[in-house]
Structure 1
Amino acid sequence: MCAADERNFRSAYYEKVGCKNVEERKSLEILLKEKILDRVKLKQFCLRYSLPTVYRSFVWKICLGVLPVNTSCHAFISDQRKQEFNEMMRALTIMKQVDFNTQKSKQLYAGYLLQTDALKFDNNLNASRGFNEIVQFLLPFYKDDVELFWVAKGFFLNIHSFDHDFPKLIETIISFLEKEESGLFKHLKIIDALDNFPFDYYFDTFFANTLNYPALSKIWDKLCGGSCNIFVFVFISLLIHLKHFILKCKCLKEVLEILNKVNEDNAEVIFNKAIDMWQQGSHFTIHDKPKS
């Protein structure tokens, strides 16, 4: 039996007994046992599979560059990150930019601004809101403020590294709806919603507030792996799943209210459908291939 056949046989067996992801988990554990981790392979794993919960926060830190690939340096780098964070918060306190009453997400955003531009604070509302909601989404994953800050910063920079692709993503969404969901497309055009969707908001937050459920972490795996196209399929899946309700809406405001009332069960269905569509439609385009 050749290796591919053997793997297919094992995969079919595991799936029958309810252990569908056994092989994938073993593959990830092998990668994580290396003294020098392969960031490219870890990103490729994120693109192809969903990370096991027990490894997710650690793999995210590696893929985002919060921790280096050399595992022997992790303790040292973590200590350096902690010292830098403490000095940053001390400076912000002296500058009276934050105090003990400042909301945690706002403290961390102030820290981000201090690191990126120490001479002036950016009051851009969208950027502030985006960073804050990323922090809120990551809170269950990282109880330590130091880790929380560096991972939030990593995701924020990662999301905005795709800014130049954003117009193309919007065009893809509109084109898909026009060709595949003509009824929904026409309705959204009639109520003047399609041209006025707050795409920037959804992109800046990557649905952190709109779809803030555990299943969303599976979508963020793809983002962490280097995919920006996943955004297209999440948004399309969201619209299609809620189509019955959206077709009754008379204006954009009503549509947005529908989009913001997704319960946990529906969110799981939307996320799984989005991943299926992405895997079938993206074929790991240039934007979805992790860079070395």
Structure 2
Amino acid sequence: MAEDPQRNFRSAYYEKVGFRGVEEKKSLEILLKDNPLDVEKLSTFSQRFPLPSMYRIHVWKVLLGILPPHSDSHSLVGGYRREQYQDVLEALKVMRFVHMATPQTQVYLRMFQLESQVLPRRSDTSAPDEEDEDFLSIARAMEEIVEDPMDCYWLIKSFVNQFNNKFGDSIPHLPKSLEHYLSVEEPRLLNHLKNTGALAMLPYSLWFRRCFAGCLPESSLQRVWDKVISGSCKILVFVAMEILLSYKIVVMGTSRPEGVVSILSNMPQENTDAIVTKAIDLWHKYCGTPMHSV
């Protein structure tokens, strides 16, 4: 099919005057008019482009299976989701696991535990373990993105379940993947990390188990989660690598592994959008077709 010169001119003009996402937004709006929705096409779109903020939550719900592909069922299914949320919340109140002063993210954790049939006895409730802390970090980040508590819980629950079920076996291998790509992009930095002992101590849990929740501000984080929710955990490797590349000078000047970890775990929040943009470019460069980048 011949290219449309008018469309190409329009795209170039939009980009020149700062409206780069106009064409993509129109394409997404066309996809969202389909009934049933084509989940694969929505996934492909989310892999290739950042989702417009006005449609992000809706697309996430569809990709995570919270809403079905048939748009005419969304209202009915949304009602069922709200009823289920209220029932689980009420059960926890009756069992006195939560009360008015319980932090909302702790409420989400108890709801998740109850639905997963791993709710501890009230007498056994102790400090959250590492898996619980991963959940709470993701919950705190999602709470900053989503206003409605019911939507927030369903998105946290579905995100965590999809991530663990789909990528659970891949997560332990991501540090090695990071090492491989770093050896290609910046071998001197990799050697420094190895020689100082910092490579083994990098904040892999923060980066890979928590998908950068608590590390990146929500404005940058949601662009990374677009890719994770639509089918790629490999994007996490490239965000980690771009963080290392961005702080290369500081890291190279630090010989203590604890110092390196401290720098990377508490990095400034102002340049994270640029880091994520470069990471996505690297991800496309190495992984090619987005749908093959899992």
TM-score under structure 2 length normalisation: 0.91
Instruction: Return 5+ residue gaps in structure 2 as ranges.
Output: none
Distance 1:285 1:215 in 2: 19
Contact 2:46 2:227 in 1 (8 A): yes
Structure 2 match to 1:37: 37
Structure 1 match to 2:280: 275
- Residues 92-123 of structure 1, C-alpha deviations (whole Å, 9 max, x = no match): 12222222222111110111111111565797
Give, as a single letter, the amino acid of the residue that structure 1 aligns with 2:216: L
- Residues 250-275 of structure 1, C-alpha deviations (whole Å, 9 max, x = no match): 33321222113333331111111101
Change (3 A) 1:215 1:118: closer
Change (3 A) 1:40 1:285: closer
The CA deviation at 1:6 is 4.8
The CA deviation at 1:201 is 3.4
The CA deviation at 1:288 is 3.1
Structure 1 match to 2:15: 15
Structure 2 match to 1:159: 163
- Residues 191-232 of structure 1, C-alpha deviations (whole Å, 9 max, x = no match): 211123242332121001011241221111111110111011
Q: How does 1:118-133 map to 2 (within 5 A)?
A: 120=120, 125-133=129-137
Contact 1:213 1:267 in 2 (8 A): no
Q: Helix, strand or coil for the counterpart of 1:37?
A: coil
Distance 1:191 1:118 in 2: 41
Give, as a single letter, the amino acid of the residue that structure 2 aligns with 1:27: S
Give, as a single letter, the amino acid of the residue that structure 2 aligns with 1:47: Q
Structure 2 match to 1:144: 148
CA RMSD for the aligned pairs?
A: 2.1
Give, as a single letter, the amino acid of the residue that structure 1 aligns with 2:278: K
The CA deviation at 1:9 is 3.3
Give, as a single letter, the amino acid of the residue that structure 1 aligns with 2:71: T
Q: 2:257 aligns with which of 229, 252, 256?
A: 252
Give, as a single letter, the amino acid of the residue that structure 2 aligns with 1:272: T
Structure 2 match to 1:75: 75
The alignment status of 1:101 with 2:101, answered yes or no, reads yes
Give, as a single letter, the amino acid of the residue that structure 2 aligns with 1:162: F
Q: How does 1:176-255 map to 2 (within 5 A)?
A: 176-255=181-260
The alignment status of 1:170 with 2:175, answered yes or no, reads yes
Contact 2:42 2:59 in 1 (8 A): yes
- Residues 67-112 of structure 1, C-alpha deviations (whole Å, 9 max, x = no match): 1111111111111111111111111122222222221111101111
Matched length: 289
Percent of residue pairs bearing the same amino acid type: 34
Distance 1:286 1:269 in 2: 23
Contact 1:126 1:201 in 2 (8 A): no
Structure 2 match to 1:65: 65
